Amino acid sequence: MKTILRIFFYLLIFVIVAAVGFVSFIQLRGIPKYEVDKIDYPQVQSDSDLVANGMKIAAVQCIVCHRGSDGKLSGRLLQELPPDFGEIHSANITQSKEHGIGKWTDAEIAYLLRTGVKPDGQYLPVYMPKFPHASEYDIKSIIAYLRSGDSYVQASEIPKVPSEPSLLTKFLCFVAFKKIPYPAAPIAHPDTNDLVEFGHYLVTGRYDC
């Protein structure tokens, strides 16, 4: 009987130590970084149609989360997120070269939009929308809008406040939320005259409903 209790005790100690070690590993590891693939992405040749389409997408996918206290896309505390995610701040995505994305290339913006990975390899979890199935036209439209003269994207020198993701968020990034592969080929824009095809695209590609 004493032998059985001793074995049970050792097993319990082992499980506790393993659990503590795993939690500590997840906590210290944080949100993972990934290798950034080099993609051939020519600079976007902007026009008024691209900017207008990009602004329409940004109104749904970008402005609502990134609009800061200065009325620009300078970032803010995302109070509407469940507290289980931690304290999450959206980034400054204005044209500021110091605090925003003014130094980013079009390729780097496209790569982030599709994969969720920043130029430094840092992964942005589920609270940042990704567009792996968006058409090339829509991706270029978003880039054109971010480069445009619209007041929302003009340079704001408000520094980004670092997020403090919770242990749960870090764990989910370890087991579930992963880098999305960059498409192997450009994705064509759907036929907007085919309402069923276009509606399917809006749900699965542009807005990921």
Residue 9 pLDDT class (50, 70, 90 cuts): low
How does pLDDT run across 126-155, given as a tens digit for each residue? 889 999 999 999 999 999 999 999 999 999
The SS3 of residue 87 is: strand
Q: Cβ neighbours of residue 13 under 8 Å, at least 6 residues apart?
A: none
pTM for the predicted model, two decimal places: 0.86
Backbone angles phi, psi at 77, to 5 degrees: -75, 125
Backbone angles phi, psi at 86, to 5 degrees: 105, -160
Tell me 153's DSSP state: G
Q: Which residues of 153-174 are buried (b: 16+ CB within 10 A; e: fewer)?
A: bbebebeeeebebbeebbbbbb
Q: Rounded to an integer, what distance in angstroms lies between the CA atom of residue 137 and that of residue 24?
A: 44
Residue 27: per-residue pLDDT: 74
Q: Give the count of alpha carbons within 13 A of 198, CB side only.
A: 6
Residue 177: per-residue pLDDT: 87
